[in-house]
Amino acid sequence: MARARNIKPGFFTNDVLADCDPLARLLFAGLWTVADRAGRLEDRPKRIKAAVLPYDNCDVDTLLNQLHNHGFIERYEVDGLKLIQVLAFDKHQNPHKNESDSELPSPEQHSTCTVQAPEQHSTNPADSLNPITDSLSTDSLHTAPDGSEAADAAADEPVAEKSKPAKPARQAYQPPEWVPNEQWADFVQMRKAMRSVPFTDAAARGVVAELEKLQRQGYPPDELLQSAVTNGWRTVYPPKGNTRSPPAAKHAAAARAIYGAPSNPEFIDVETVVRQH
């Protein structure tokens, strides 16, 4: 069932989203309306196309891959069920308080846990213009009804703060063994230097998926990663016959910082830079 959602002005000026096809951008906004209150939905491209892009001749599976590779959604599977998580959904959306809890497992649950964590419901309408007000509780100012000295003495005693258990540190995504370690480390360093394009675990998995697909076509993974680093690309592309437009040359600065590429990023000779290093 489709639901009403918010859309903010930043959606139209997001330069990372601009690297996706126009229909992929429209699909992204459409996913909000078919996702549940936790930003999750079943990964069923045909059904999604019928709900969001019924009149467009397009491959929704390919468009979903674009959004996944650029870190806007995460495509995952739990116990054989293919799912989609819209990333940062709770940051930009405020579902209605009567909207049902999500019945779909989160990416963190995997197949080893099926317990749904309780979700907090907002009592405010889904309106990004609502002001945020702070409240001050005066319970600590109340006096004991009997005015006893014992109550006053108890109030003067320091209250020990309950220590919260430390959350385990989340390990960074580790690629499969067939991915060359040296070239992957250079690529990760270059991607993390792009502060406007966060390199999430979902984005890393998308790059590895693209790398595996190109490897099956006969392209060596180390050369693909080397070319991506040299050109400052957000993902890997085939060296020849590439029909996709590589990202803007503004990110080639990260490649120059690592490999000392030519000063003009629009005329980088990939083969020359690779031979030099």
- pLDDT digit of tens for each residue in the chain (277 aa)? 677 888 888 889 999 999 999 999 999 999 988 888 888 999 999 999 999 999 999 999 999 999 999 999 999 999 889 999 999 887 788 787 777 888 888 888 754 333 344 444 444 444 443 433 333 333 433 444 444 444 444 445 455 555 666 666 667 788 999 999 999 899 898 888 887 778 888 888 899 999 999 889 889 999 999 988 988 888 988 886 554 445 544 455 556 666 665 555 444 555 554 455 5
Q: What is the pLDDT of residue 244?
A: 46
CA dihedral 272, 239, 204, 66 (to 10 degrees): 140
215-253 pLDDT, tens digit per residue, is 898 899 999 999 889 888 889 888 865 544 455 444 555
Residue that has been written with the tokens 């579902």 in this structure = 95
Is the alpha carbon torsion for 90, 118, 132, 125 positive or negative? positive
Q: What is the pLDDT of residue 105?
A: 87
- Write down the pTM of the prediction: 0.41
Q: What is the pLDDT of residue 54?
A: 93
CB 51 within 8 A of CB 3: no
CB 205 within 8 A of CB 76: no
Q: What is the pLDDT of residue 71?
A: 92
Q: Which two three-digit tokens encode residue 225?
A: 């990663």
